[in-house]
């Protein structure tokens, strides 16, 4: 199964991003801490070239903390890149880190000139929430559906940094199928463009291989299910996702599983590890 989603407004957004990039001092790239590689847009990397970049791992409170540390170490080992984890329960820390890092990466601006920073990321990765944290008030619309932001927004932070928010931008063709499934599982691809059962089977396979203890505890199972279908079946029985005759409705069970992963109800889960870490990823269905 191939997942592709590229609304028309994203073509315009890509052109605007390319035109804006040369005037910026620093790029703030927002990625989901649960899938830092899959949620990193290769178009942003292509367009920024050698421009300094701060990788901001949002939703770190939903991710495996050990995996997050591995990703931070990986990003920090790359030239001209800084990285830190961000969550909504530490807003002051986020504001301080952004201010320090942007100024540190834009020393050429001098002490009297304000830094120009561009914030970019794939849809539904937490950019608008981050902007509201940085401004310490609601500026950007926040939603749990992709493509809430559809045009550029400019704000000035307390330290004088001019921050330009760009629409969530996907790339036209996602070559990595497993990456596309991770994006869909996490919510960066609209539910109207995915099949819940297929996505849930992919996610269940990964979770059973890497975080089986979490699903056993969450759904009060007697043991680890042998297959993704067995997990969804047990979940469906316990949550009343039944058709007439008591048959489990796997599609309803799949929706429950996907939404509970996205909300962090199952536990702190990371869907991929850095290239230098051992991680046997499951094959896409």
Residues 98-114: tens digit of each pLDDT: 888 988 888 676 666 78
Same-domain status, 33 and 91: yes
Report percent pLDDT > 70 for the chain: 84
Beta bridge partners of 58: 32
Residue 40 or 12, more confident: 40
Same-domain status, 98 and 199: no
Is the entire prediction scored with pTM above 0.75?
A: yes
Is residue 177 situated within a structural domain?
Answer: no
Is residue 3 situated within a structural domain?
Answer: no
pLDDT in tens, 203-259: 999 999 999 999 999 999 999 999 999 999 999 999 999 999 999 999 999 999 999
Candidates 96, 81, 41, 38; CA nearest to 63 is 38
pLDDT, mean of residues 46-63? 93
- Whichever domain contains 91, its CATH number is 3.40.50.300
Residue 34 has pLDDT above 90, yes or no: yes
Q: Give the model's pLDDT for residue 131.
A: 87
Domain count for the chain: 2
End residue of a domain, out of 150, 165, 180: 165
Is residue 272 situated within a structural domain?
Answer: no
Q: Give the model's pLDDT for residue 280.
A: 44
In whole angstroms, give the CA distance from residue 14 to residue 67: 31
Q: Give the model's pLDDT for residue 171.
A: 56
Q: How much helix, strand and coil, in percent to the nearest 5, is found in the chain?
A: 45, 15, 45
Same-domain status, 94 and 231: no
- State which residues form the domain around 216: 195-263
Any idea which residue has 């932001």 for tokens?
Answer: 149
Q: 93 is written with which tokens?
A: 């820390």
In whole angstroms, give the CA distance from residue 200 to residue 253: 9
What confidence category does residue 144 fall into, taking pLDDT thresholds of 50, 70 and 90?
A: low
Which residues lie below 8 Å from residue 190, measured CB to CB, with a gap of 6+?
Answer: 5, 145, 146, 147
Is residue 227 situated within a structural domain?
Answer: yes
pLDDT in tens, 148-173: 445 667 888 888 888 888 777 765 56
Chain-wide mean pLDDT for the chain? 85
Same-domain status, 115 and 248: no
pLDDT, mean of residues 3-14? 60
Same-domain status, 40 and 106: yes
Same-domain status, 113 and 245: no
Is residue 84 situated within a structural domain?
Answer: yes
Candidates 272, 180, 181; CA nearest to 280 is 272
In whole angstroms, give the CA distance from residue 187 to residue 36: 14
Same-domain status, 57 and 114: yes
Q: Give the model's pLDDT for residue 7.
A: 52
What confidence category does residue 284 fall into, taking pLDDT thresholds of 50, 70 and 90?
A: very low
Same-domain status, 147 and 212: no
Candidates 270, 273, 280, 238; CA nearest to 257 is 238
In whole angstroms, give the CA distance from residue 270 to residue 68: 8
Same-domain status, 161 and 201: no
In whole angstroms, give the CA distance from residue 31 to residue 39: 5
Candidates 282, 270, 260, 6; CA nearest to 122 is 6
Would you say 160 and 173 are in contact if contact means Cβ atoms under 8 Å apart? no
Same-domain status, 37 and 153: yes
End residue of a domain, out of 165, 183, 209: 165
Which residues lie below 8 Å from residue 253, measured CB to CB, with a gap of 6+?
Answer: 200, 232, 233, 235, 236, 239, 241
Is residue 131 situated within a structural domain?
Answer: yes
């Amino acid at each position: 199964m191939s997942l592709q989603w590229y609304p028309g407004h994203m073509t315009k957004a890509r052109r605007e991003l390319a035109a804006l990039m040369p005037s910026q001092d620093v790029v703030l790239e927002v990625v989901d801490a649960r899938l830092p590689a899959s949620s990193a847009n290769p178009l942003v990397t292509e367009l920024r070239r050698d421009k300094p970049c701060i990788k901001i791992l949002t939703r770190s409170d939903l991710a495996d903390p050990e995996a997050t540390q591995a990703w931070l170490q990986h990003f920090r080992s790359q030239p001209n890149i800084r990285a830190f984890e961000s969550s909504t329960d530490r807003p002051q820390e986020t504001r301080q880190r952004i201010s320090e890092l942007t100024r540190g990466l834009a020393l050429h601006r001098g002490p009297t000139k304000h830094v120009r920073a561009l914030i970019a990321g794939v849809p539904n990765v937490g950019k608008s929430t981050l902007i509201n944290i940085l401004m310490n008030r609601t500026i950007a619309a926040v939603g749990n559906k992709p493509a809430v932001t559809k045009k550029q927004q400019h704000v000035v932070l307390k330290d004088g940094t001019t921050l330009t928010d760009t629409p969530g931008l996907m790339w036209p063709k996602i070559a990595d199928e497993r990456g596309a499934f991770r994006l869909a599982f996490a919510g960066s691809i609209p539910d109207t463009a995915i099949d819940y059962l297929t996505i849930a089977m992919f996610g269940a396979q990964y979770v059973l291989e890497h975080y089986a203890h979490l699903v056993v505890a969450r759904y009060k199972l007697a043991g680890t299910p042998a297959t993704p279908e067995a997990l969804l079946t047990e979940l469906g029985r316990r949550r009343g996702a039944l058709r007439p005759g008591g048959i489990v409705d796997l599609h309803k069970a799949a929706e429950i599983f996907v939404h509970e992963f996205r909300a962090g109800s199952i536990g702190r889960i990371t869907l991929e590890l850095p290239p230098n870490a051992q991680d046997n990823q499951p094959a896409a269905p």
